[in-house]
Amino acid sequence: MNLLQLEYALALEKLGSFTRAAHALNMTQPALSLQIKNLENEIGISLFDRSRSRIEPTEQGLKFLLKAGEIVMAGKQLKEYAITLANQFGGEIKLGIIPTLSPYLVPLFLDQLLNQYPELSLEIHELLTEEILQKIRLGDLDGGIISTPLARQGITVSPLFYESFYMYHNYEDGIHAKSLKVSNLDLKNLWLLEEGNCFRDQVSDICSLRNEKAYAQISYHCSSIDSLIRMVDHQGGTTILPELTTLCLDSDQEQNLILLEDKVREVGFVTRKLTGKEHLFEIINEKIIESVPAPMREKRGREVVDPGIQEGWK
C-alpha cells in the first residue's frame, strides 16, 4: 500500500466513475482498476460497490477512505508546512461560505485581510453547509464559515460571532414594536428559504414549524435572503433575517425590523484537524471577528439555535 493508491481510491470515491477518475488522474482505466484491485486485495476488504451506475464506497470502504483521506491530507500538510517555514503569512486558502453569510460577511473583512497579508491568496466558494463539509472532508476546501455548532467526525469548530434574529415585515401592516418574543410571531404569511438551507432549519426551529405548515397562497422557492426581503416589501407578510443582513438595509427598511429576543445564530469556522494551515486560519478568524460589530462578538446569555446539521462520517 502506498500514498498513490490511496489517492487513486479517493479520486474514485469523489468522481464515482473509473472513466472520470482515470481521466482526472491522467492514467488509463485498466491501470486504475488494477491499482484499486491490488489495494483491495492487500487490505482484504472491498472498497467499492461496482454494481451501480455510479461507483459508491461500501460501508467498510467508507470507513477506510475516511482514514485514507486523513493520511493523504497529512502528506500534503507536511509539504505545505515546509513552504510556510519560508513564508509564514503566505499561501492559498480555499474557503466555503454559506449563502446567508457570504454576500454580507466577505466584504467586511476581505480588503483589510488581503491588504495586510498581500502574499495570502483566497479562493472563496458560496456553497450550502453539507457541500462545504463534504468538500473539506475530500480536501477540496481548506475550511468553511457556516452556522454552528455541529458534531462531525474529524472536523474542528472555532466560534466567530453571534447574530441576532430579526423579524422583517411591511411597515404598513401596523406592527411598530421594537422587540418581540418568538411565541408572539404571526406565522400565517412567513416567507422562508428553500429546503436544504440551514438557515431555514433554524427559522423552523425557533418558530416551531417542523410539524406545522403555514398557509400561503404563493409557493416561492428561493435561496436568497435578498429575494425574501423584496417579497415582503412588495407582497407583504414577514420573514426572518440574520443580523448581518440588516446592516445592508436602507433607512426606510430598517423601520420594518423587530428584534426577536433571547435567540442567536452562532457562526463558526470549520476545518479538518491538523491541516498545517492553522496559523493562516487564525489570521482569517481574527480579521473576521474584528470586522463585525462589537456586540456580535459575544453570546450575552442568549440561546444558540440548532442549525440542524446531522452527525456523519461514522
Per DSSP, the residues of 251-306 read: HHHHTTEEEEEEEEEEEEEEEESS-S-HHHHHHHHHHHHHHS-GGGG--TTPEEPP
Element (H, E) at 33: helix 29-43
* Polymer length of the chain: 314
The cell for 127 is 456553497
CATH of 163-262, one of 3.40.50.1110, 3.50.50.60, 3.40.190.10, 3.40.50.2000: 3.40.190.10
The CATH class, in words, for 89-161+265-304 is alpha beta
The amino acid present at 46, given as its one-letter code, is: S
The CATH class, in words, for 3-78 is mainly alpha
Predicted TM-score of the model (pTM): 0.71
- Residue 211's pLDDT is 41
- Residue 300's pLDDT is 85
User: What DSSP designation does 306 have?
Assistant: P
Report how far residue 12's alpha carbon sits from residue 34's, in angstroms, rounded to the nearest whole number. Answer: 13
- Residue 108's pLDDT is 95
pLDDT tens across 115-129, in order? 998 888 999 999 999
CATH 3.40.190.10 residue spans of the chain: 89-161+265-304, 163-262
109 confidence band (pLDDT: 50, 70, 90) = very high
Task: Say which residue the cell 477512505 belongs to.
Answer: 65
User: What DSSP designation does 1 have?
Assistant: -
| Other beta carbons within 10 Å of 303 | 10
